[in-house]
Structure 1
Amino acid sequence: MSTERILVIGANGQIGKVLFPALQELWGKDNVTAADIRPVFDGEGIFEVLDATEPKAIYALLSRHKITQVYHLAAILSAKAEENPLSSWEINTRTLLNVLETGRECKVSKLFIPSSIAVFGPSAPRTKVPQNTFLDPSTAYGISKVATETWIAYYRRKYNLDVRSIRYPGVLGYQSMPGGGTTDYAVDIFYKAVKGEQYTCFLEKDTRLPMIYMNDAIRATLELMQASPENLSVDMAYNVASLSFTPEELGTAIRKYIPAFQITYVPDYRQTIAHSWPESIDDSVAQKDWGWQPKFGLDEVVRDMLEHLSNHS
């Protein structure tokens, strides 16, 4: 029986609800605790209501469950953050510092706190963005994620706290509805397709963005967290790449299976966000340090999404 005790903060979110059962499978159901500010939880296992803006509540939970590893996923995502930037900064940054500090105080052995491709801005290359480059985001969410990476590096160096991070591309999967991200079109489009409905995209048809399938995102997270610390050369967050495509290319791939599917384009404020991000990512450092390789290409993603959503429609 493992002596590791895992906490997933933000377990009701897009990634959290998939990562939580994956961690249960890895460590055992009794060793993994889900936590979220929303009191309704549809998973199986230990669940705690938690407001991560309250450090005393985090400290009490870490102590009560004798937590050794924390996955902190709670955040306000890019599109929602632009609607209320000050509130998103307050929530994203306060919860980050609370988790880092309580993790240090409780001598947690390992933490995962995700970053995002939103950290890149106009000074970064448009294609094959390297691991080390300019981080000058033009969005509230991106600014908060640069702060996240900087604080992660600070706690690693000052307190020797083992904090690990991935710059997630757009994550798409069938397990949950879109949750306020700019790349959410790549999830919502499938729900319309399986219903035989036309989809109206909020991005221009040629907007190319880096993406990752949920299965690969979860596997990347677990592989990074299980990697030997002596192999890890990045103090902030790792670039992770999988695939890049445009809305038009995704629509074409869907029509291979649903020929009648139609898509129109009505760009809104999220187009500006998307335009500030790169088209592709260079993840050669992740490949070298911990052997990262994606398994899902565009056709595999489309086939798997349509199969699962058609079975549940």
Structure 2
Amino acid sequence: MNILIIGGGGVVGQKLGRALAARGTLRGQDISKITLADVVDPAPITGNVAIETTTCDITDPASVARCVTADVDVIYLLAAIVSAHAEEDFDAGMSINLIGTLNVLNRARELGTKPVVVFSSSIAVYGGEVPDPIIDHTFLNPQTSYGTQKAMGEMLINDFSRKGYIDGRGFRLPTISVRPGKPNRAASSFMSSILREPLNGQEAICPVDEDFPHYYLSPRKCVENLVKGAELEEADLGQNRCMMMPGRMWTIRQLIDAMTAVAGPEPAKLIRWEAEPDIQAIVKGWRFDLRPEKALKLGLTADESFEDNIRYYLEDDQPSA
């Protein structure tokens, strides 16, 4: 089993690579090689299987051809530019999030090997004038360029699978929190930074009110679901290969209360509340009452509590003092 993780330099890609290397098997077969690919050479990781790193610019078909080879059995397509960045730079978002996705799928078709392709979509595909709750058959109505690009990627995953070119499956990720590292250009970045920075003794800014609700999943649980998602049988996916990944809805106040329950009262004192209209305009267009029934029936799971998300960060990712 040869696995390629495109976007292997990112937080989720690195964690996924480590998890697969430790696991040693996927889809009932021993893993022979894992390749981490990204536009910049990913940080190396170690494990019980052969692990390589390489560069891949998905906007360049020639670069994709060098990376996606006939011996690849499973492709994780995680590479993207995130929400606020895609909103600010429409051309970059279209080039990477849409055309880049198409380049990878065209290469898989060209090879004729029908690899499993696991596509990371986003709950940003929902929005606008659709009723709550959001269920598996709610139509997509994105209200950002990022959400639109991800929705188009889902259509490509479905059609390339229908034609038999790939065995695709896509998962609409909740906001992944608490993410390690530094803030990125996602509109949702503050949903990690208001926890991560205070847990590390640093000040953080919250740009929305404390009663703002959102849909969350921990990095650890996200990786578990991506592994399970690759192992789903094609026959169980149905005619729509894309679905919500399970998560849970909490308010900002509930996130902070969870942090306090696990780490005590001091971190919350480092949060400053400063409204940021540009961020609010993006995130308040996202929909919140999500019911991921299909994914739950297929065995994917959500965190039991946000206290778990905090504990996982402290166990897995908090920098050493």
TM-score by length of 1: 0.90
CA distance in structure 2 between the partners assigned to 1:56 and 1:308 by the alignment: 37
* Cα pair distance change 1:132/1:98, threshold 3 Å: same
**Partner residue in 1 for 2:58:** 52
Is this contact kept in 1: 2:303–2:309, CA < 8 A?
A: no
CA distance in structure 2 between the partners assigned to 1:232 and 1:309 by the alignment: 33
CA distance in structure 1 between the partners assigned to 2:44 and 2:239 by the alignment: 35
Are positions 1:113 and 2:119 aligned together?
A: yes
Deviation at 1:305, TM superposition (A): 2.1
Is this contact kept in 1: 2:44–2:53, CA < 8 A?
A: no
Cα distance per residue 1:72-106 (max 9 Å; x no partner): 11101111111212221122111100110101112
User: What number of residue pairs does the alignment pair up?
Assistant: 307
2:11 is paired with a residue whose SS is: coil
The one-letter code matched in structure 2 to 1:244 is M
Deviation at 1:53, TM superposition (A): 1.3
**Partner residue in 1 for 2:311:** 303
**Partner residue in 2 for 1:181:** 186
Is this contact kept in 2: 1:9–1:35, CA < 8 A?
A: yes
Q: Mean alpha-carbon deviation: is it higher for 8-17 or for 226-235?
A: 226-235
CA distance in structure 2 between the partners assigned to 1:310 and 1:212 by the alignment: 17
Cα distance per residue 1:191-226 (max 9 Å; x no partner): 321233342112222211111111111111111110
* Cα pair distance change 1:280/1:49, threshold 3 Å: same
**Partner residue in 1 for 2:108:** 103
Is this contact kept in 1: 2:158–2:241, CA < 8 A?
A: yes
- Residue correspondence of structure 1 range 1-313 to structure 2 within 5 A: 4-25=1-22, 26-27=24-25, 30-39=32-41, 41-44=43-46, 45-63=51-69, 66-106=71-111, 107-126=113-132, 128-256=133-261, 257-260=263-266, 261-262=268-269, 263-268=271-276, 269-288=278-297, 290-308=298-316, 310=318, 312-313=320-321
Is this contact kept in 2: 1:190–1:305, CA < 8 A?
A: no
Is this contact kept in 2: 1:113–1:163, CA < 8 A?
A: yes
Is this contact kept in 1: 2:108–2:165, CA < 8 A?
A: no
Q: Mean alpha-carbon deviation: is it higher for 202-211 or for 174-183?
A: 174-183
1:15 is paired with a residue whose SS is: helix
The one-letter code matched in structure 2 to 1:145 is K
CA distance in structure 2 between the partners assigned to 1:255 and 1:120 by the alignment: 31
* Cα pair distance change 1:186/1:143, threshold 3 Å: same
CA-based RMSD of the aligned residues comes to 2.0
CA distance in structure 1 between the partners assigned to 2:6 and 2:116 by the alignment: 14
TM-score by length of 2: 0.88
Q: Mean alpha-carbon deviation: is it higher for 110-119 or for 179-188?
A: 179-188
Deviation at 1:306, TM superposition (A): 3.5
Is this contact kept in 1: 2:36–2:42, CA < 8 A?
A: no
Structure 1 residues not aligned, in runs of 5+: none
The one-letter code matched in structure 1 to 2:187 is T
CA distance in structure 2 between the partners assigned to 1:61 and 1:235 by the alignment: 28
CA distance in structure 2 between the partners assigned to 1:109 and 1:195 by the alignment: 42
Moved over 4 A (4+): 307-311
Is this contact kept in 2: 1:123–1:134, CA < 8 A?
A: no
Is this contact kept in 2: 1:172–1:214, CA < 8 A?
A: yes
Is this contact kept in 1: 2:109–2:165, CA < 8 A?
A: no
CA distance in structure 2 between the partners assigned to 1:160 and 1:102 by the alignment: 10
* Cα pair distance change 1:87/1:309, threshold 3 Å: closer
Is this contact kept in 2: 1:191–1:309, CA < 8 A?
A: no
CA distance in structure 1 between the partners assigned to 2:147 and 2:230 by the alignment: 23
CA distance in structure 2 between the partners assigned to 1:114 and 1:32 by the alignment: 18
* Cα pair distance change 1:29/1:240, threshold 3 Å: closer
Identity level (%): 25
The one-letter code matched in structure 2 to 1:62 is V
